[in-house]
Amino acid sequence: MTILTAIIFVPILAAIAMVGIGTPAKKTALAAAAINLLFAFVAWAQFDPAVAGYQLAGSFPILSKPELAFSVGADGITIILLLLTTIVTLCAVWMSPADKDDNKLFHVSSLLISAGALGAFLSTDLFFFYAFHELALIPTFLMIGIWGSGDNKRVAWKITIYLGLGSLVLLAGLLALFITSGSSSFSFDSLQTASQSISPEIQKWVFLPLLLGFGTLVSLFPLHSWAAPAYASAPTPTAMLHAGVLKKFGLYGLIRVAVPMLPEGAQAWTNLACILLLGNILYVGLVTIASRRLDHMLGNSSVMHMGYLFLGVFSLNTIGLNGAVLLMFAHGLSIALLFGLASKLRESTGTLEFGRLGGLGKSAPVLAFTFALGAFASIGLPGFTNFASEVLVFFGGFKDYVDLPIASKSLGALQITTILAVLGVLISAIYMLRAYRAVFQGDKPVPEEGDPEITAADLTFSQRIPVTILIAALIITGCLPFLLLRLLDSTTQLLAITP
Amino acid sequence: MLSVPWIILLLPLASAVIITLVTHRNASLSALISVASAATTLALTIWLLAQDTVATSSFEWIKVGDSFTISLGLIVDKLSQGMMFIVTAVGTAVHVFSLGYMKTDEGKSRYFAGLSLFMFSMTGIVLADNFVMMFIFWELVGVSSYILIGHWFEKNSAAEAAKKAFIVNRIGDFGFMVGILLVWGLTGSVYFEDIEAALPGGIGKHILTTATLCIFAGAVGKSAQIPLHVWLPDAMEGPTPVSALIHAATMVAAGVYMLARTFFLIEFSNAGIFIAWIGAITCLLAALMAIQQDDIKRVLAYSTLSQLGYMVLAVGVHNPEAGMFHLYTHAFFKSLLFLSSGAVIYACHHEQNIWKMGGLRKKLPITTFAFLCGTLALTACPLTSGFWSKEHILHAALDKHGSVALFSIGLAVAFLTAFYMGRLFTVAFFGKPRDHASEDAKEVPPVMWIPICILSVFALFGAYKMFWGPLKILHPAPPAHSHPFILYASIAAFLLGIGSSYLIYRHKNKDPLHIPLFANRFYIDNFYDLLVRFGTNGLAYVAKSIDQILIDGLAVRGSAKITSSAGSMLRRLQVGNLQGYAFLFGFGIIVVIYLTLFSRS
Amino acid sequence: MITLNHYLMVSGALFTIGFAGVLLRRNVIVIFMCLELMLSAASVALVAFSRFNLTPEGLPNYHGQVLVFFIITVAAAEVAVGLAIIVAVFRARQTTDVQQLTSMKG
């Protein structure tokens, strides 16, 4: 049993303890999250970035033919996602609404989402990789359906069917990959080796369901319309955990499974991916500008930023891939921060409609300040990890162009896409600053006849701690991105198609 | 081991962080920390000026594999040394002035944290040795500017102005980023030194021109050139010292500095002529707009636009030295003008309309004198600093990369500058008080007038070698073919402008000239408002509708509808009658039997 | 001479009567009895097959007869369960008319 197995099972054990022994809900969840964060740091310290391949690995065989094992392992990408998941879990549990402090089912669900995400990221076996993600989705649906706000029942159904179908397509793709590769084992390593023999034509058709399946889970345009209502309606920790962590599963799958195992397939669909990701950045960006509620705006913005991640992945080189992984980390933290703060705001104001809010910076200065930091991080301001990773993604998009000989330099599809994607930094500035202006700056709107006056409560001391953790993580890794990037070098070299 | 340039860079950051995290409740202590850090950087910069070369270390900020590295490193050369002096000197003056101006402000700590953050970011731009690092600090000055313009964020106009400034700047930054990517794509490097070395290697001229123009777009945003000039006048919503430091002397000049720093790109491409014309057009239009403004700060803001146009024009005609020299003189006289207008506003209880002032000459003697110094320098009164730097630009405009058209625009703007400043000075300082605000105006405290007086000295005499020599300010070489005509023409423009404005505006209580086109800024702002309302917002609304109707409605809910209607059709078969089922069952059996027994043929 | 066909005709007639009863009668108990009739038809056929399909040694094929015993025992059990269900349904609905037991209607 390695530390990675322990990390997966700590939340599950905590959930069992909560239900079985009856330990206090929130405290147990917090303790489990804190222990996991500590474990994640230990794993980070033990990890040797110079070594390629999985480290800290452990395996528990289950079937021999086909070979199936509960096996875990970590490489650079996993360590970064592990840090992301444990940080966000701690903050998400901490920022759960106070009236749910004793609600066991609520905290069990949060912990299960975390455990599922950890399992999916840490598994080095295709079966468990998929199964753990499904495990995490179920409590997500439940939490939205039971404790969500607004039209939560309908939204819960919508996301269940949407993501269920996406997972189904994904499953078909994964099965196709497993069958066509002829591998005798579900482990990533042997699949990677076996998949080399798949012919380009078959790769192309196996890659498509993977792209669509993973794409649905990451809200790739035009499969994105579940995201904004789901996040708007989800309770605080669910929105933080799903948008921050669980959604990254699809990208992780593309990086870990689809692209390296089906390189020709990936290249065949790069142009399609470019168009779709521009749909995310430009089209959904415009939708975000038109949002009239803070939670919808944040949900759409998170969809929009997925475009950058896809750009990083589909640049297919190490620079872009490093950028994508770093951006997963950055986006996870910043969107969790923003969702957490928005929920806190809703708890005291009762609404997130722009038209009914305004000038709250006066009554809630700390909330306004931290939200500003989150917004700045989200629009990719230097000093936050988001900037470093977006720069890497953009440079990744231009890598081919640099490598062309000087006489025959011409802009390819990827470069055009990158240039258009840079336009996203403008779009995101527009919607974020407009939202900030509408909520925290300017006059307070006069409430309509009969409506109570809207005031915002500032963050309490206890709420400031998780917020500080998230901001500190963003700033530290933003100013010193090499702290994380050095973990990635030997990993992404294996996974990228071009250096 | 931190070298002095690194300390100059990081000290203001430390100040900003300490104020935000520790001393934000104690406003006076915060102010003290911020002022101390500014003064220390000034002292260190003066030390730095005495050095010829300073060894600085750089550190790897991003590293991917062995092939791709972006480091943060500092350049200390004549260009950055001179610019550093401008930034820290004006910065310190503004910090000290703010002690008086913001004395009773509620958000004093936030204000000084913002100033320190700005000093950090601006220093970063000046010392950056590569494009990415410059872009980093380029964005950070944008944020500090956002924070400071929106200092009084509960005021709608300030909040709007801050947002507008940031977003308009981001349009430029979009171009800048694309330019950086293109240059990297062409030369394989983001370091200024390497790019300069790689340029002669046969890179296509067209694509290089495109890249240069993209980078220039960044300068257009930051230096508020047409068509991205609209944010700067609105930025006057910020506290006046901020306008002096950021929106007159330093940040808006960063675009020009960047062009000077990357001048090799303009040299090797064909972008110069385009840049020169953008500068010239901005120069002219902004001067025309300035003629009809009534807000003292807005007049100065349009004047800043116009002067920045001069600088860009100079860089465009391949004479960055002239641009930088004007940047230097302009930084001092314009920050002087802003600070003294700040003093006027402070004395007049935050009245900014010049038609409500008047007769301030007697109430505020020191401020009036300082404002006069600034006005003389800005209007290029012979022998003041502004005169010399403008001379150089006019010469450059006629030089081999310039043209008579560019020169004529420059000359016309010289006249217009004298005219609108003469108008401002006549209306605000001569005559009789028109409002009680200006009637009980009192001279400002020393903490405010001392920095103004020091700046006055620079404004008047900054163009003489005893000043710019030791400060290592880039100084243009004397023109090869001196045209005495230029000298006479510009003196004539000055006299004509001042004289005509004095004659027109003497003893007037309201504006005798009424030119709606200029007063409404050529309707450019209105046009942009329409563009945003019907363009961006319209597009966004359309996208949202498509999202709701087509994707979510038709595709998602549509497929759900199909599924459920298929279900309700199939439901009819579910009759609920036992015998019905039994009949179907039997019927099915018969069909199966028939198929197995009789359909073998 | 009574041949296999005669037995099969009887069996077929029984089956048809039973099936018609299932389809046409309304009372659950009658339907149930008709079901039993159909089972008996099958048993008759099986026994007849067993008697007329002799093994090479001239013995009857006992497979069919064994199956009949099974049917008889299973039918007995089934009657018990079935009647219990009918009693339960009657208690719940106060009727044994299948036309009125339509809660499965979609």
- Condensed to tens digits (0 to 9), the pLDDT of residues B459-506 reads 998 888 888 878 888 888 877 677 788 888 999 999 999 999 999 888
Q: Is A485 within 8 Å of B64 when comparing Cβ atoms?
A: yes
> Which DSSP category does B271 fall into?
-
Is A406 close to B173, i.e. CB distance below 8 A?
Answer: no
Q: Which residues of B touch C23 (CB under 8 A)?
A: 579, 582-583, 586
Interface of B with A in 538-567 (CB under 8 A): 539-544, 546-547, 551-552, 555-556, 560
Q: Judge whether residue B1 has pLDDT over 60.
A: no
Dihedral (Cα; B13, B138, B263, B60), 10-degree rounding = 60
> CB-based contact (8 Å) between B540 and chain C?
no
ipTM > 0.95 (yes/no):
no
The H or E element that residue B59 is part of is strand B59-64
Residue A147, token pair as written in the block: 């404790």
Shortest distance, CA C29 to any CA of chain B (angstroms): 13
Query: What's the rounded Cα separation, in Å, for the pair B461 and B448?
Result: 21
Over pLDDT 70: what percentage of chain B?
A: 99
- Is A292 in the B-facing interface, judged by CB distances under 8 Å? no
Q: Which of A477-481, B38-42, B111-115, B596-600 has the lowest mean pLDDT?
A: B596-600
Q: Bridge partners of A123? A: A72
Inter-residue contact A342 to A364 (CB < 8 Å):
no
pLDDT of res. B114: 93
pLDDT one-digit tens code per residue, B521-566 = 888 888 888 888 887 888 888 888 888 887 777 777 777 788 888 8
Q: Is A225 in contact with B552 (Cβ distance < 8 A)?
A: yes
Question: Which among A388, A398, A425 has CB closest to B181?
Answer: A398
Comparing CA positions, the residue from A471, A470, A484 lying closest to residue A89 is A470
Give φ, ψ of A74 to 5 degrees. Answer: -135, 135
Q: What are the tens digits of pLDDT across the range A42-79?
A: 999 999 888 888 888 888 888 887 888 899 999 889 99
Which chain C residue is nearest to residue B579, measuring alpha carbons? C23
Q: What is the mean pLDDT of residues A76-85?
A: 93
Q: How many Cβ pairs closer than 8 A exist between chain A and B?
A: 157
* Interface membership of C101 toward B (CB under 8 Å): yes
pLDDT for position B353: 87
- Cβ–Cβ contact B407 with A under 8 A: no
| Chain pair B-C, CB pairs under 8 angstroms | 30
B185 at A interface, C-beta within 8 A: yes
φ, ψ for residue A235, nearest 5 deg? -65, 160
Residues A331-355 pLDDT 10s? 999 999 999 999 989 888 888 888 8
Chains A and C touch (3+ CB pairs under 8 A): no
- Tell me the nearest-neighbour CA distance from B252 into chain A, angstroms: 19
| Percent share of chain C, pLDDT over 70 | 99
Longest dimension (CA), chain A: 72
Residue C106 pLDDT exceeds 70: no
The model's pTM is 0.88
Of B416, B394, B413, the residue nearest B403 (C-alpha)? B394
- The three-state (H, E, C) secondary structure of A212-224, written as one string: HHHHHHCCCCCCC
pLDDT score, position B443? 84
Q: Do B578 and C24 touch (CB under 8 A)?
A: no
Residue whose C-alpha is closest to residue B171's, from B223, B220, B130: B220
Best residue of A441, A467, A476, A477 to probe chain B, by most B CBs closer than 10 Å: A441
Put simply, the answer to whether C98 touches B575 (Cβ < 8 Å) is: no
Using CB atoms, pick whichever of B68, B160, B181 lies closest to residue A394.
Answer: B181
Instruction: Tell me what the pLDDT averaged over chain B comes to.
Output: 88
Q: In this structure, what is the dihedral angle of CA atoms A197, A199, A205, A210, given to the nearest 10 degrees?
A: 30
A148-186 CB burial, b ≥16 within 10 A, e <16: beeebeebbebbbbbbeebbebbeebbebbbebbebebb
Cβ neighbours of C106 in B, within 8 Å: 571-574, 576
- Name chain A's partners: 3 or more CB pairs within 8 A: B
Tokens at residue C79, please?
A: 């009657």
State whether residue A498 sits within 8 Å of chain B by CB: no
Q: What are phi and psi of C97, to 5 degrees?
A: -90, 120
The alpha-carbon gap from B277 to the nearest alpha carbon of chain A, in Å, equals 26
Q: Where are the beta strands (DSSP E) in B234-346?
A: none
**pLDDT tens, residue by residue, A113-149:** 999 999 999 999 999 999 999 999 999 999 999 998 8
Distance from CA of B451 to the nearest CA of A (A): 32
Return the pLDDT at A386: 94
pLDDT for A15: 93
Sort out which chain B residues have CB atoms less than 8 A from A482's CB and list them.
60-63
